[in-house]
Structure 1
Amino acid sequence: MNDSPRLEARYPVIAALSPAAHARLAASARWMDVPAGAVLFDERQACEGFPFVIEGSVRVVKCAPNGRELPLYRVSAGETCIISSSCLLGHEDYNARGVAETPTRLMLLPKPVFDELLADPAFRHFVFHLFAERIADLMQLIEEVAFHRLDQRLAALLLGKGRTLHVTHQHLADELGSVREIVSRLLKGFAAQGLVRLAREQIEVLDPARLRQLAAGEERGGPTPPAV
């Protein structure tokens, strides 16, 4: 199966490479199909290469010793993984975990070829431009975790998923880097205030206006730890 056209459609920088760099990439590309739930990389593992996601999505998380996870970001088709980039550029092992959220098709560019292609201006600009974008996303995450209460973050998360959410409390907890018991307690508080209606693996948003106020810190949704 020739995925080169899809690769270039997802990552236009490929077509902008010099002929020599383009040929080098094509000759060394390692294509992979991974099922949902597969761990693509983990903490303290060596980084083998630079991933290009063609189809699917990869969830990158930071894991605590007690098993809790803090979601850092997702890598969808056409995007890049800042953890992989930093490990390759700094010659360090991974310091986070990447898990395929869905069946995922990707191309892995081996580390030696990644190092070679950094000499190509188009590829170098691509890597550092997306690196900067991901750093900005992570800074926003740090701000949310450090300065926003969990009820604010939960309200914002509910608003971003439509009027009716088919989701478990555990999934929401994973999204927020919290635990199910705390999220369930907050949701019950939201329901008692008439903000949402709860059912099995379903949450219906009843009062989006007040949820927006809560997300903005203008209304309290009940007692909650400040950030976790």
Structure 2
Amino acid sequence: MAAARQVALRRGQGVFQPGQACAAFLVVTAGTVKVSTVTSSGRELLLYRVGAGETCVLTTACLLAEADYDAEGVTETDVTALAIPKPLFEELMALSPAFRRFVFSSYGVRLRELIGLVQEVSQRQVDRRLARFLAERAAGPVELTHQEIAAELGTAREVVSRLLKQFASEGLVEIERRNIIVAAPERLARIAEGV
């Protein structure tokens, strides 16, 4: 069985890319790796960075699920890492409680960060969805509660309330007791399109 080995990567070097099989578990010992993906609109979305003493949650997931990568890892600095080949990783997971705890602890920390990112990204898109929702109903007052709008958009009432307050401050809508008056449907339509 192959042993763990130290690897050195230069700044800007690809560590993994979408569709690539995962051959080793990496523990970064120095430097930083940026892990990102490309959104459907073609924008790069930073998922997280892996620094000294850290592991890549995507690598862990790929090894555990025997799946290929679906994001890209690129070194931001010169990097050194400990590469543990897949067969040794599997053996250590089966036989070493300390190694297993390290892997799952690292995985858990990063997973919590990724959940936060998903929430942030989904909220970032809610402004566009809300703008579209309001622009489509510009013909008359929108006679829905913030909670009802939130349910339509699949988000929290607090998010809708905050965005409506922001839209009102920008002159896009007027908020009345049980109505929302769309004041600038063209501007809302542009927001909905991301312009």
Identity %: 41
1:101-124 CA-partner distances (Å, limit 9, x unpaired): 011111110000000000211111
Counterpart among 97, 100, 120 of residue 124 in structure 1 = 100
Q: Which residue identity does 1:58 align to in structure 2?
A: V
- Give the number of aligned pairs: 138
- What are the Cα deviations for residues 16-50 of structure 1, in whole angstroms up to 9, with x where unaligned? xxxxxxxx9xx712221111111100000000100
1:40 aligns with 2:15: yes
The answer to whether the 8 Å contact 1:150/1:225 transfers is no
What residue in structure 2 maps to residue 97 of structure 1? 72
Q: Distance in 1 between the 2:27 and 2:42 partners?
A: 28
Tell me the secondary structure at the aligned position of residue 28 of structure 1: coil
Residues 95 and 110 of structure 1: CA distance in aligned 2, closer, same or farther (over 3 Å): same
2:65 paired with 1:81:
no
Query: What's 1:52 paired with?
Result: 27
Shift of 1:135: 1.0
Q: CA RMSD of the aligned region, Å?
A: 2.8
**TM-superposed deviation, 1:64:** 4.0
Match of 2:112 among 128, 136, 143: 136
Q: Deviations over 1:167-188 (max 9, x none)?
A: xxxxxxxxxxxxxxxxxxxxxx
Please tell me whether Structure 1 or Structure 2 has the larger radius of gyration of its CA atoms. 2
Q: Secondary structure of the equivalent of 1:60? A: strand
Q: Distance in 2 between matches of 1:225 and 1:139?
A: 26
Counterpart-to-counterpart distance in 2, 1:67 and 1:150: 19
Report how far residue 68 of structure 1 moved. 2.3
CA distance in structure 2 between the aligned counterparts of 1:60 and 1:150, rounded to whole angstroms: 24
Listed as ranges, the gaps of 5+ residues in structure 1 are: 1-23, 152-215
Amino acid corresponding to residue 136 of structure 1 in structure 2: R
- Change in 2 beyond 3 A, CA 1:71/1:92: same
**Corresponding residue number in structure 2 for 1:182:** none
Tell me how far 1:63 sits from its aligned partner. 2.1
Q: Return the offset for 1:148.
A: 3.6
The 1-side partners of 2:42 and 2:166 are apart by: 32
* Partner residue in 2 for 1:31: 6
Structure 2: distance between partners of 1:35 and 1:225: 41
CA contact (8 A) 1:88 1:111 kept: yes
Distance 1:60 1:90 in 2: 19
Letter in structure 2 aligned against 1:143: Q
TM-score (norm 1): 0.54
Deviation (angstroms), 1:65? 6.4
For structure 2, the 5+ residue unaligned runs are: 128-161, 171-186
Q: Distance in 1 between matches of 2:108 and 2:51?
A: 17
Q: d(CA) in 1 for partners of 2:72 and 2:103? A: 20
Q: Distance in 1 between matches of 2:39 and 2:57?
A: 20
Matched to 1:45, the amino acid is: Q
